[in-house]
């Protein structure tokens, strides 16, 4: 039931975002071409990437919510991590593309003497509307992402905010190009370049943790220390060792060896192990994978 509730909320927030992105894509492209603004066209491409990643989240969250089966003993959580990676990579490609296009226009303006068209007021209006809508989508999406502990939804929230940042830069560039005259029209592509740098930064912040999870990187030392502290709360547990941890999507896996009195009954050792598992799941989530291996103290 909890999994279905989580899936339903994630699907809802992603659908809301995808509708908003779709409408913005249409509006921005119209405003960009009608207003002769390269910054707005770049911003429209960014919104298009948002729409594509919304579709990716809808697809992968639907898969990741499935329970474990014969071919996925640890569940499908890594599909959500994969979705986060794809979102980050899409953002990186968009950022590099926007940088390249803006840099070329700046070069042509200063070194080839090419004249840039003045953007129209419709492009400025589109930028302002985009900032308002994308910030609202970010606030809504990050709230759901944190509440449901979803990497992909949080990544998508930051994609919304990066688009809001993009529109802020676009607004400044378009506004400056309109108000300050012909010599300042270069502010339009310059805005695209500055925004692209922020987009690339966000993409790395999303991709690197996701890649670490896919490569089975251990949990941070402070988390492992907390696990050891919980395990050793029982006075009958001695010398916990060979601790191995990793993430499985939004859940974690814990495997550890512990030592107990070799003369202890199987029933008693089982009771202690169940209590350790209960405490670990209480702290790290009910879906935490736990593997305890008991060794006798001779």
Secondary structure (H, E, C), the chain: CHHHHHHHHHHHHHHHHHHHHHHHHHHHHHHHHHCCCHHHHHHHHHHHHHHHHHHHHHHHHHHHCCCCECCECCCCCHHHHHHHHHHHHHHHHHHHHHHHHHHHHHHHHHHCCCCCCCCCHHHHHHHHHHHHHHHHHHHHHHHHHHHCCCHHHHHHHHHHHHHHHHHHHHHHHHHHHHHHCHHHCCHHHHHHHHHHHHHHHHHHHHHHHHHHHHCCCCCCHHHHHHHHHHHCCCCCCEEEEEEEEEEECCEEEEEEEEEEECCCCHHHHHHHHHHHHHHHHHHHCCCCEEEEEEEEEC
What is the pLDDT averaged over residues 165-184? 79
For residue 206, pLDDT over 60 is answered with yes
Asked whether residue 56 carries a pLDDT value surpassing 80, the answer given is no
For residues 63-87, average pLDDT:
69
* Residue 139 banded pLDDT, cuts 50, 70, 90: very high
**What average pLDDT does the segment 266-292 reach?**
88
Average pLDDT over residues 157-171: 80
What integer best gives the mean pLDDT of the chain?
Answer: 81
The confidence score (pLDDT) of residue 132 equals 92
Residue 24 predicted with pLDDT over 60: yes
Provide mean pLDDT across the span 25-33.
88
């Amino acid at each position: 039931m909890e999994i279905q509730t989580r899936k339903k909320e994630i699907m809802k927030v992603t659908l809301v975002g995808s509708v908003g992105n779709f409408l913005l894509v249409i509006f921005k492209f119209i405003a960009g071409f009608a207003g002769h603004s390269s910054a707005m066209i770049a911003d429209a491409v960014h919104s298009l990437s948002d729409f594509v990643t919304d579709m990716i989240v809808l697809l992968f969250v639907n898969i990741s919510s499935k329970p474990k089966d014969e071919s996925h003993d640890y569940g499908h959580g890594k599909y959500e991590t994969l979705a986060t990676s794809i979102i980050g990579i899409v953002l990186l490609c968009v950022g590099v593309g926007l940088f390249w296009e803006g840099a070329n226009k700046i070069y042509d303006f200063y070194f080839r003497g090419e004249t840039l068209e003045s953007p129209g007021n419709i492009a400025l209006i589109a930028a302002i509307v985009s900032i308002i809508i994308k910030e609202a989508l970010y606030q809504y999406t990050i709230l759901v992402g944190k509440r449901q502990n979803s990497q992909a939804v949080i990544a998508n929230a930051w994609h919304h905010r990066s688009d809001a940042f993009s529109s802020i830069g676009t607004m400044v560039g378009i506004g400056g190009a309109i108000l300050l005259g012909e010599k300042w029209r270069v502010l339009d592509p310059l805005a695209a370049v500055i925004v692209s740098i922020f987009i690339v930064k966000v993409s790395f912040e999303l991709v690197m943790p996701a890649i670490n999870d896919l490569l089975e990187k251990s949990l941070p030392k402070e988390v492992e220390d907390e696990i050891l502290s919980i395990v050793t709360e029982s006075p009958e547990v001695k010398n916990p060792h060979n601790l191995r941890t990793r993430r499985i999507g939004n859940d974690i896996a814990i495997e550890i060896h512990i030592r107990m009195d070799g003369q202890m009954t199987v029933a008693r050792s089982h009771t202690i192990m169940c209590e350790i598992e209960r405490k670990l799941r209480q702290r790290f989530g009910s879906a935490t994978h736990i593997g305890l291996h008991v060794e006798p103290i001779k």
